[in-house]
Structure 1
Amino acid sequence: MAYSSFGQFITALESAGELERIPMPVDTDLLIAEWANREMKSPGGGKALLFERPIVDGREARFPLAINTMGSTRRMALALKLDDIADLAQEIQLILKAKPPTDLRGGWNLLKQGVNLLHARPKHVREGACQEVVQLFGERRTPNVARRTSNEEVSQFSLTDLPILKCWPEDGGRFITLPNVHTRDPDTGERNLGMYRMQVYDDCTTGMHWQVHKVGARHGKRYYERGERMPVAVTLGGDPAYTFAATAPLPDGLDEILFAGFIRKKSVELVKCKTIDLEVPADVDFVLEGYVQPGESRPEGPFGDHTGFYTAVEDYPVFHLTAITHRRDAVYPSTIVGIPPMEDYYIGDASVRVFLPVFKMNFPELVDMALPAEGVFHNLVFVSIRKQYPYQAFKLMHGLWGMGQMMFSKYIVVVDEDCDVHNTSEVLFRLCANTDPERDSTIIRNPSDSLDHAPSAQNVGSHMGFDATRKLPGENYHRTWPELVKMTDEAQRLVDALQKKAG
């Protein structure tokens, strides 16, 4: 069954030996981040950390803080209630095999239909644990008296009561780093669940860092064109399937809430917000309700980002709070990003593994794919293929560059199927051994990640592909390709037996 709360997930981590409790007071200004950074860089991602007494501006916060909860392969599987991430990939593959699609669009449509059928449609409920405690804010951004309903209680509360981290020394302030941001298209009514960092400006306003390529920004543009205030809800905690769905590279039209229900094998229960016309999962820990005013922006940053560098100060929309609601037993979820490896690597790696069947459906030659931690997602992609004809590797590169967020991939390295793309050392060996730089590389101009500081201009740059496969006739190679050094199976078997006997 699905997790009924973020706290239940934390209990599961502790039962699995994957959680360390920190009972002493620890400051949210840099110290928790430094502690977490050391843990994330431990072998295998270390453990999840629960800071029971986080300190904010010299005061002990009302709520504990959990970090690195998905920062290992095992914890990522536990987050989705799986024995192995591959199990979810197999479920998606079964949907696609039921009626094999003819193209990528057909594949996504079939996946949408399959997800919709499998107990995934959200349910609407009148009340939820996320609204056990309510704090409303008026137009003057001061606390209002909230009207009680059934099991609610009223509290004097603001953003400064949350243990929000300042992650790095030159950060522009404290940042909410694991927000699930809910928006809705004003024209079609389609909802979106995304993740965009939020810099805290004061007790009831934050930045909203949705970049130009993101769906949240597209929704914001439509509200701007209509001259209407944009309702936005931000949820924190709850079933970790929500966070995974928010970060997953889903195509337009595939509802993240629907996908979360598919992951957790149980419909997401949605409750209406108190002050805005949006619905949110009823079991989350915190809900920040509010709005973005069309045309209003404010400098945001710097921020020590997943690239390992500080992103510059830029203007972004401003989020105004109208209400905060939360569970009585709420736990504040957080993460930090920076020089890899960090927690976000394991979330991204899980996404690649889960959606590999969709890529394979469009590229039958594709065997496996990996995004090494050092590439911080978009900078480096390793792909293995069953090569059947000349220049097939280049065909695959250009196909990937044309697929959604894959357009940001700065370097793509294609290897043969006998190379393990999850072994960076092995891929680099093939890259160095099997390529002639002039013959086996290509450079294109393409949209680039907004956070990539290397291109001369923001949002556009060059991308490079390498064909590190064995060369076939017709690929401008005029010698006999050598065989890879490899021991016989019999010799390996005999030495296995001898070593076992030797103890």
Structure 2
Amino acid sequence: MAYEDLRDWIKTLEKHGELKRIKEEVSPELEMTEITDRVSKSKGGKHGAGGPALLFENVKGFPGQTVLMNQFGSERRMALALGVNKVDEIAERISGLINMKPPTGGFLDKLKMLPQLGELTNAFPKTVSAKDAACKEVILKDGFDLNAFPILKCWPQDGGRFITLPCVITRDPKTGKRNMGMYRMQVYDGQTTGMHWQRQKVAAEHYRNALRAVAAANASGDVRTASVAAMAESAGGTVTIPDGPIGGLRQVALGNLKGSRLEVAVAIGTDPATTFAAIVPAPPEVEEFLIAGFLRGKPLEIVKCETVDLEVPAQAEIVLEGYVELGELRTEGPFGDHTGFYTMEDEYPVFHLTAITHRKNPIYAATIVGKPPMEDAWMGKAVERIFLPAMKMQIPELVDIHLPVEAVFHNLMIVSIRKSYPGQARKVMNAIWSLGQAMFTKCVIVVDEDCDVQDLGEVTLRVANNIDPERDVQFTLGPVDSLDHASRLPNYGSKMGIDATRKWKAEGFERPWPAMIEMDAATKARVDGIWAKLGI
């Protein structure tokens, strides 16, 4: 089921009893966070774990405006958002496509493939005209002001107000590929924000490619300055010209970068599948517009922007158009993050607005992050289930994975494997650390296939009993998440792998390995038959 837009999604939430309208006046400064935090951490009641979605209809200081929060904040709503009964159904669709083989029979075999081929066809976005794009009901090319929207200040020590659920769209200057990612944006004033592009994110690579392009165009001899080094480090890499006709590696002065821009567009309040597509850890070669279409089962409608050469979801509530000026950095933060700690101040690019378009009476969509569990826990669990088939393609022995919400996703991954040879658990650890965003995983625990990785009690039993710490714990160094405040250096630190599988003689374990205690099947069946009579 594809939702046309955010409003269609809200109607569905209400129809299913998953929406609570808040009539009391509530401030977007701290108060909405406190209310949403309490709701998202609720474990019982009418709506179960995660509470209901919240629509604030009486926003202090913003008469007539509404704010949607906690829209993905439960297992049921996450499935509803993707139009399925269970999120695992998406994984099954992906498995079907991955395992799709050319038809070997006649016409009937080809007909059987049509549904799968249709899924791929529906993934491609559809460009519509401005008159068919609801996001252009109001077009402001001058006199616009971000302060007109009820943007949240989430936590007391936050550096300001932050846009927390934006779909940020950029185009790679090198390949022309679009990317849609979710990066928080601190509001500096009515026309500028921060752009929190952590160096390992795709948009940050687009920024670096823009720097390299400018460097290649403007380089004239060796120019080395401290400001260039600082700028290059903040961009996440040295700005250089590759060896070629010019000869040698050269750097370009910061002054030569002024006036050079990377265009950016930001969609706020899209249909739920499109918003979710912005957070998935897809390969850079796969555009998120395609992922949105696949999840929706229907092409995503996109429309050209007014002032930048980019496309945005046509039915979005709000669209911000603009650019980052290469070489311009500004202090961003602190920000109360999903780790449960504040991310400290750092230097990030600045987003300058050139236009704002929006629907009439736009609905502002936001989320908050902090100590888990919160709304992002359910989004992270959906990512875990949906991308398991893709991980199995890279790591065939993989049976299941679990990213406990208490470890805020990138700090712990528990994996079960079909062990076939000595040292395989360590091979799997290293394979995980080589996979896209999985490279940030601080701790990897590997267990045998008969261990349910979703059962933390069972995992704890295996780890506590199956390891000799000196032998079975592996340490390595590499990139870590920018939010990791405990690493020895920003973005660089150590990781740990724990081999909690049964040890083999071929791995140097000479002692007998004991069997786990389990009742025999016949006794279980007999007790099952008399259980009701026991009155226990």
Residue 52 (structure 1) aligned to one of 57, 79, 92: 57
**Residue identity matched to 2:192:** T
Q: Counterparts of 1:180 and 1:164 in 2: how far apart (Å)?
A: 15
**Residue identity matched to 1:33:** T
Structure 2 equivalent of residue 76 of structure 1: 78
Residues 275-332 of structure 1: per-residue CA shift (max 9 Å, x gap): 1111101011110111111111111000011111111111111111111111124221
Q: Is it true that 1:398 corresponds to 2:430 in the alignment?
A: yes
Aligned-residue offset at 1:116: 8.1
Residues 194-251 of structure 1: per-residue CA shift (max 9 Å, x gap): 1100001111111000011111111112223424211110001121111211111101
Q: TM-score, normalised by structure 1?
A: 0.90
**Residue identity matched to 1:123:** K
SS state at 1:26 partner = coil
**Residues 359-398 of structure 1 correspond to what in structure 2 (within 5 A)?**
359-398=391-430
Residue 221 (structure 1) aligned to one of 208, 211, 216: 208
Aligned-residue offset at 1:117: 3.2
Aligned-residue offset at 1:123: 1.2
Q: Is it true that 1:118 corresponds to 2:105 in the alignment?
A: no
**Residues 44-443 of structure 1 correspond to what in structure 2 (within 5 A)?**
44-55=49-60, 59-99=61-101, 117-127=120-130, 128-137=133-142, 143=143, 157-225=144-212, 226=214, 227=257, 228-443=260-475
Identity of aligned residues (%): 53
Q: 1:30 to 1:480 in 2, by over 3 A?
A: same
Aligned-residue offset at 1:488: 2.8
SS state at 2:85 partner = coil
Aligned length: 470
Aligned-residue offset at 1:419: 1.3
Q: Is it true that 1:12 corresponds to 2:18 in the alignment?
A: no
Q: Counterparts of 2:86 and 2:488 in 1: how far apart (Å)?
A: 42
**Residue identity matched to 1:92:** I
Q: Decide whether the 8 Å contact of 1:61 with 1:162 is kept in 2.
A: no
Task: Report which of the two has the higher share of strand.
Answer: 1
Q: Decide whether the 8 Å contact of 1:237 with 1:332 is kept in 2.
A: yes
Aligned-residue offset at 1:187: 2.6
SS state at 1:45 partner = coil
Q: Counterparts of 1:362 and 1:99 in 2: how far apart (Å)?
A: 18
Q: Decide whether the 8 Å contact of 2:167 with 2:266 is kept in 1.
A: yes
Structure 1 equivalent of residue 27 of structure 2: 27
Aligned-residue offset at 1:61: 4.3
Q: Counterparts of 1:323 and 1:494 in 2: how far apart (Å)?
A: 72
Unaligned runs of 5+ in 2: 44-48, 103-115, 215-256
Q: Counterparts of 1:114 and 1:437 in 2: how far apart (Å)?
A: 50
Q: Counterparts of 1:439 and 1:114 in 2: how far apart (Å)?
A: 49
Aligned-residue offset at 1:372: 0.4
Q: Decide whether the 8 Å contact of 2:337 with 2:370 is kept in 1.
A: yes
**Residue identity matched to 1:39:** V
SS state at 2:351 partner = strand
Q: 1:52 to 1:493 in 2, by over 3 A?
A: farther
**Residue identity matched to 2:401:** M
Unaligned runs of 5+ in 1: 101-112, 138-142, 144-156
Q: Decide whether the 8 Å contact of 2:380 with 2:409 is kept in 1.
A: yes
Q: Counterparts of 1:160 and 1:130 in 2: how far apart (Å)?
A: 19
Aligned-residue offset at 1:461: 0.5
User: Highest CA radius of gyration, 1 or 2?
Assistant: 2
Q: TM-score, normalised by structure 2?
A: 0.85
Deviates more, 1:464-473 or 1:217-226: 217-226
Q: Decide whether the 8 Å contact of 1:122 with 1:261 is kept in 2.
A: yes
Q: 1:497 to 1:63 in 2, by over 3 A?
A: farther
